[in-house]
Amino acid sequence: MSRVLVITNNLQQASFRLRVQALTQALEQRGVTLDVHVRPRQGLARRQLLKSASTYDAVLLQRKMLNPGDTRLLRKNARKLFYDVDDAVMYHSRPVGLLKRWQTWRRFLATARFADQVVAGNEYLAELFRRHGSRVTVLPTVVDPAHYEVKLHAATDAPALVWIGSKSTLPYLRQFAAALAAAKNRVPGLRLIIIADQPLSDSPVPCEHLPWSEQSESASLCRGDIGIAPTPKDRWTLGKCGFKIVQYMAAGLPVIASPVGANGQIVLPGQTGFLAEEPADWADAVAILAADTAKRQAMGAAARARVEEYFSITRAVDFWTTMLT
């Protein structure tokens, strides 16, 4: 039996739920026990937790980067130190001051220096760590295919695009309003389904909001015909791991995505969906899929098969079992 100390910053954060919590039971069956702790804010409690690393077989620092002093203390006590990341945490998703940027960069450099192994959600993140001497393995964020029912595609005069996400990424949809409007001009009956914690205002396409929950997300996805992932390009979005695309594919949906970061590695153009950049590209892709039920079904089936082979929870469990035992 291998005991692993997991240090995270937020038990509700999607990164922790998807990349650690979802694996806990399966790892336990493989002889790996995860002891999860939220990083204490109080200095003494934090130091005690970091010193306790010496009583574990390994430490997994999940997404949260520690300040250099805490990182050195953890490195001193940890037999093996792993760092798991699926966002560009060395940057910021919104403007911050110079001091904040400097503090974040110091944490990043300390993490890159002291971790025995960095596990990155995509190649962009991996390369950022490699530049600073880290040993890195790419492990995408995965799903349990059994959680997702598979869409049975049928002919329709009102095809539905579907987008799943949170209020923090709804602005991405707004930035692609011209692309959605162009698609609506080509496909008059086009609809948009939003699965999120808040609705989208001023949608250029008739829009239905479905509140997100883990229990209902599978059925909600299957109400759509085409999964979409419009993504602007910047240092933060390049670090995104395309999880919504993996969800669409698990549900048997063809995908249209911006060719940004991991999106281009997940989607196989012409096989599981399309990569679209300009509004005209989006309109063309939507029109092709909206008009061809057989193509949606074939691409959706290929997408589901790709998830089962490359983005299944089994892959992550196999990887961590090897690393942690």
Q: What is the pLDDT of residue 86?
A: 96
pLDDT, tens only, 3-27: 999 999 999 999 999 999 999 999 9
Residues of the chain with CATH 3.40.50.2000: 145-310
Identify residue 35 by its one-letter amino acid code. Answer: D
Identify residue 236 by its one-letter amino acid code. Answer: W
pLDDT tops 90 at residue 94: no
CA atoms of 241 and 235, how far apart (whole Å): 13
Q: How many CB atoms lie within 10 A of CB 43?
A: 9
Residue % of the chain over a pLDDT of 90: 97
pLDDT tops 90 at residue 201: no
CATH superfamily placement of domain 2-139: Response regulator (3.40.50.2300)
pTM to 2 decimal places: 0.94
Query: Could you tell me which residues come within 8 angstroms of residue 311 by beta carbon, excluding any fewer than 6 positions away?
Result: 140, 141, 142, 143, 246, 249, 250, 266
Residue % of the chain over a pLDDT of 70: 100
pLDDT, tens only, 293-321: 999 999 999 999 999 999 999 999 999 99
CA atoms of 311 and 325, how far apart (whole Å): 22
pLDDT tops 90 at residue 207: yes
Q: What is the pLDDT of residue 93?
A: 85
Q: What is the pLDDT of residue 232?
A: 95
β-strand 136-138 against 32-38: which pairing, if any?
A: unpaired
Domain 145-310 carries which CATH code?
A: 3.40.50.2000
| Structure tokens that stand for 66 in this block | 């520690």
Residues of the chain with CATH 3.40.50.2300: 2-139
